[in-house]
Amino acid sequence: MSGVSNKIKLSTLSNKNGTNGFLNETVTVNSSLITTKTRTQTSINEIDEQKNSEDDEEVELPEYEKIKVVGRGSFGVAILYLKKSNQSNVVLKQINLNHLTKMEKDLALNEVEVFSKLHHPNIICYIGSFVRGNVLLIEMEYANGGTLAQILSQKEPHDFMSERYILTIFEQITSAINYMHSENIMHRDLKTANVFLNLKGTVKIGDFGISKIMNTKIHAQTVLGTPYYFSPEMCEGKDYDNKSDIWALGCILGEMCCLQKAFAATNLSELVAKIMS
C-alpha cells in the first residue's frame, strides 16, 4: 500500500462523537483495515473511578483487600488492593478473557510477556500474573503520584513548568525507553497518560499492552498507538521501528514545555496532515 492511499484511508476515519476525544484513543491500522478501541485517559493507576463496565465482575481474591478502582483501559479495569501477605498496596489489572476477540487476547497475553521481561527503576514493576476463572490478573507496583497527563491538565495556560523539572522527568522517561530498546522492545504507545509517577516524583513507565518484542532484522508493520503521538511513518502506513518511540518522546517533551499537544487537531485527517507537513 502506498503512503498516499493509506493517508486517505486514515482521513476517512471520523470520530462519531464529533470531538477530538478519538485522538486519545488507541488505533489499529493493518493494511486497509482500521479499527479503534476506545481508551480514556484513565489508564493503570489513574484515579478516575467509572461505572457501567462489564469488566467490573467481582473476582474472589481472599489474599487481597480491595481499596478502589484506579483506572480503566481497552481490555479491563485496574484496581488498587492491599496485599494481605505483606500489607503492601498493589494494582491488579483484571482482564476478562471471555469478552475479548482473538486479537485482543493476544494483546493481553503480550502485555504479560513484555511486562515480565522489564526490570528498570523507571518502569512499573511487574510482580506476577495469574488466572481466576476466565479473568487474567496482572499484579504490579502502584504509582501513587498519578500521571504526567494529570499533572499537565491541572496547570494553568501560562503556568509553565521549570526547565529543571522538565529535564528531570524527561531524563527518567528516556532512560526507561533506552533500556526497553536495548532489550529490543518497542513501547508503541508512549504518551503522557502512560507516564506514571510516585509520590517521590520518580517516573514509572507503564501500559505495555501493545508493546512489541522486535527481531532486530524486521520492522513493525501494524500501526498501534495513540494518534496524537503517531510518527510520520505510522501515518503513511510504512514499516517503522524504535524511531517511532523517539518521535513520541519528542511529542511528550513538547507537551511538557508548552502545556499543549505537539500537534493540535480536531479530527484525525487534520492531525495526520499536520504531522506529515
Q: What is the pLDDT of residue 79?
A: 93
Place 164 in a pLDDT band, splitting at 50, 70 and 90: very high
For residues 101-126, give the mean pLDDT. Answer: 91
The answer to whether residues 153 and 21 belong to one domain is: yes
Residue 93, annotated as binding a ligand: yes
User: What is the pLDDT at residue 76?
Assistant: 82
- Is the predicted pLDDT of residue 17 greater than 80, yes or no? no
DSSP SS3 for 6: helix
Quote the CA–CA distance of 205 and 178 in Å, as a whole number.
12
pLDDT at 51: 37
Instruction: Find the helix or strand (DSSP H, E) in which 80 lies.
Output: strand 77-83
Claim to verify: residue 168 and residue 259 sit in the same structural domain: yes
**Residue 138, pLDDT above cutoff 50:** yes
Overall average pLDDT of the 74-101 stretch = 92
Vertex 227: Cα angle to 221 and 231 (nearest 5): 55
Segment 251-258 shows an average pLDDT of 96
Report the distance separating Cα 267 and Cα 23, nearest Å: 7
pLDDT score, position 215: 53
Q: Which of 55, 159, 189, 245 is labelled catalytic?
A: 189
Is the model's pLDDT at 238 over the cut of 90? no
Query: Quick one: pLDDT band at residue 33, thresholds 50, 70, 90?
Result: very low
What pLDDT score does 21 carry? 55
**Do 153 and 200 belong to one domain?**
yes
> Rounded mean pLDDT of 98-117?
88
Residue 48 lies in a domain: no
Summarize pLDDT for 169-181 with one digit per residue, the tens. 999 999 999 999 9
Residue 88 and residue 63 in contact, taking contact as beta carbons nearer than 8 Å: no
- 48: cell is 478516575
Q: Specify whether 172 is located in the same domain as 265.
A: yes
Lay out the sheet containing 64-72: strands in order across. Answer: 64-72, 77-83, 88-96, 135-141, 126-132
Mean pLDDT of the chain: 79
CATH label of the domain that carries residue 72: 3.30.200.20
Distance (Å, whole) CA 190 – CA 206: 9
Domain termination residue (choose one: 126, 141, 156) = 141
Given a cut of 90, is residue 39 above it in pLDDT?
no
Q: How much of the chain exceeds pLDDT 90, in percent? A: 47
242 is written with which cell numbers?
524504535
CA dihedral 88, 49, 248, 269 (to 10 degrees): 170
Residues 271, 235 contacting (CB under 8 angstroms): no
Shared domain for 61 and 103, answered yes or no, is yes
Crossing angle of helices 243-258 and 163-182, rounded to 10°: 170
Q: Using CA atoms, how far apart are residues 40 and 142, in angstroms rounded to an integer? A: 19
Query: In which domain, by residue range, is 60 found?
Result: 54-141
More confident residue, 204 or 77: 204
Higher confidence at residue 93 or residue 111?
A: 93
- 188 and 264 belong to one structural domain: yes
Asked if residue 20 belongs to a domain, the reply is yes
Q: pLDDT at position 25, please?
A: 56
Tell which of 119, 141, 163 closes a domain. 141
**Mean pLDDT within 247-254:** 94
The yes-or-no verdict on residue 6 having pLDDT over 50 is: no
Is 55 among the catalytic positions? Answer: no
The answer to whether position 129 is within a domain reads yes
Largest CA distance in the chain: 57
Regarding whether 59 and 22 lie in a shared domain, the answer is no
Position 62 confidence tier, pLDDT thresholds 50, 70, 90: very high
What CATH number is associated with residue 225?
1.10.510.10
Residue 47 inside a domain? The answer is: no
Decide if 248 is inside a domain.
yes
- 124 and 178 share a domain? no
Helix H or strand E segment including 11: helix 3-11
Same domain, 203 and 166: yes
The pTM of the full predicted model, rounded to 2 decimals, is: 0.76
In a domain, 87, yes or no: yes
Residues 157 and 222 in one domain: yes
Nearest by Cα to 182 from 275, 253, 95, 119: 119
Q: What is the average per-residue pLDDT within 74-99?
A: 92
Residue 212 and residue 185 in one domain: yes
Average pLDDT over residues 109-120: 91
Question: Does 28 share its domain with 156?
Answer: yes
Q: How far apart, in whole angstroms, are the C-alpha atoms of residue 258 and residue 261?
A: 8
Of 110, 141, 172, the residue that ends a domain is 141
Question: In the prediction, which pLDDT does 231 show?
Answer: 80
Cβ atoms of residues 9 and 34 within 8 Å: yes
Residue 33 lies in a domain: yes
- Looking at the 3D structure of the chain, how many domains does it have? 2
Whether residue 263 lies inside any domain: the answer is: yes
Higher pLDDT, 263 or 152: 152
